[in-house]
Amino acid sequence: MSLFYDARIRAFLYQTIAIGAVVFVAWAMFSTASANLAKQDIATGFGFLARQAGFVITETAIAYEPTDTFGRAILVGIANTVKVSALAVFFGTILGVLVGIGRLSHNPVLSRLMLAYVEALRNVPLLLYLLLWYSLIISVFPPVKQAIEMLPGVFLSNSGLVMPAMRWASGFESLLIALFVGAAAAVAIERVLARRRIATGKEMPVATIAALAFLLPLAATLLFADISVSMDVPELGRFRLTGGYHVRPEFVALLIGLTLSASANVAEIVRAGIQAVSKGQWEAATALGLPRSRTLKLVILPQALRIIVPPLTNTYLTVFKNSSLAIAIGYPDLVMVSNTIMNQTGQAIEAIAIFMAVYLGLSILISLVMNWYNARVALRER
């Protein structure tokens, strides 16, 4: 009995019990599951990934045909998830920063309106909003037969927005390279000029030079490279629109829903971040004669950013995870594709394991990227 009073032995005992319990539960579940699956004649393992999928995915961010494999279908699902979450994060951040600043405006009408916006979004479930936006799109716009032709070749109907698409015969790659080279050059020039300004105090028209550096490679490529493009203009048939680029209502509803909910969260984070910057900073900037907008841009926001980034990471992760609500309105994201595979193959465990692993992996990736950014903007204490 005296052994039990030894802290080290007790620690060892507790840990052994905990690990033993987890291992036992895992083993029990595994063995019953394999017995059940054998009885129901369901295959196990990931062999199904190489088999032909055979189902249609309405929205494909990467090339996909029903003759492709289940593995490819899952990749399409991942690409769709990433596409909609990345766009929602992008637009949601911009909108959220504007709303968050608007919340702190001295204009009472603006600040109250922004408050109402945030409260309306935060107090109603996202799923409800998704369904609402979706049925709004479906019910407000006319059926395909009476599609509105907004511009020549641009059709709006309850099956989405169809517009002319560019089909690249050649020159797409060189244009892409020019875009990257220009962007890199612009960033480099901005850095060099900033260092020069700090060293010499001389102001240079940074924006103009950077814009030139960005546009020059593009212009050169457009002029000299062999670019051939054909326009794929949609045509209105009897029952459907053929050709062109199709923006589907499921995608639009999901993007709007995710963007708005992200913007409300970002707005609250930005507001809290700005309010956390001490009042003396405002007063000092005002004393220096800076107008309110420049105070915000040059003094307050850089300091607020340090407070804002960690909770912002959480918001981005939430957006990414919330994109799984796509299944409710039929946007083929990772969860919906996995669900289809689950129904076709009966291999529920594998399908769920795959999408959980993908979500987990991408969540960790987003956390790492945001932590890296956070370390960059964090206060360097000397």
Partner 1 sequence: MAQFEGFVADPILMAPAARPRVSNRTWLSAYFGTPGNALITILCLGTIFGLAKLAIGWLFLDAIFSGTPAECKVSSGACWPFLSTKLRYIFFGFYPFDEQWRPLTAMLLFLGACGVSMVPRTWGRALAVTWIVVILPTLYALMAGGLFGLTVVPTTQWGGLPLSFMLSFVGLACALPLGIALALARASSLPAIRILGVGFIEIVRGVPLISILFMATVMLPLFMPDGITIDKLLRAQVAIILFAAAYIAEIVRGGLQAVPKGQIEAGHSLGLHYWQIMRKIVLPQALKKVIPPLVGLFIGFFQDTTLVTIVGLLDFLDTVRTAMRDPQWQGIAVLEGYVFAAVVYFFFSALMGAYSRFLEQYFRTTHD
Q: Interface residues with partner 1 (CB under 8 A)? A: 11, 14-16, 18-19, 22, 29, 32-33, 36-37, 105-110, 113, 119-120, 122-129, 131-132, 135-136, 138-139, 321-322, 324-325, 327-328, 335, 339, 342, 348-349, 352, 355-356, 359-360, 363-364
Q: How far apart are CA 66 and CA 282, in angstroms?
A: 60
To the nearest whole angstrom, how small is the minimum distance from the Cβ of residue 76 to partner 1? 18
Q: Which is nearer to partner 1, 119 or 283 (CB)?
A: 119
Pick 316 or 359: Cβ nearer partner 1: 359
What are 183's two structure tokens? 């962007």
Distance of CA 116 to the CA centre of its chain: 25
Q: Between 67 and 107, whose beta carbon lies closer to partner 1?
A: 107
Q: Is 78 exposed, middle or buried (0-12, 13-18, 19+ CB in 10 A)?
A: buried
CB of 164 to partner 1, least distance (A): 31
Residue type, 361: G
Q: Which two tokens stand for residue 204?
A: 């240079």
Min separation Cβ 156 and partner 1, Å: 18
> How far apart are the C-alpha atoms of 121 and 268, rounded to whole Å?
11
How many Cβ atoms from other residues are within 10 Å of residue 140's Cβ?
A: 8
Picking from 355, 329, 201, the residue whose alpha carbon sits closest to that of residue 257 is 329
| Closest distance of CB 124 from partner 1, Å | 5
Beta bridge partners of residue 148, listed in sequence order = 156
The closest alpha carbon to 57, from 43, 67, 48, 42, belongs to: 67
Q: How far is the CB of 53 from partner 1 (least distance, A)?
A: 19
Q: Which lies closer to partner 1 via its Cβ, residue 300 or residue 366?
A: 366
Give dist(CA 215, CA 75) in Å, integer: 34
CB of 239 to partner 1, least distance (A): 19
Q: State the burial class of residue 211 (Cβ atoms within 10 Å of its Cβ: 0-12, 13-18, 19+).
A: middle
Q: Which is nearer to partner 1, 125 or 205 (CB)?
A: 125
Please report how close the Cβ of residue 177 comes to partner 1 at its closest, in angstroms: 36
Distance CA 314, CA 265 (A): 10
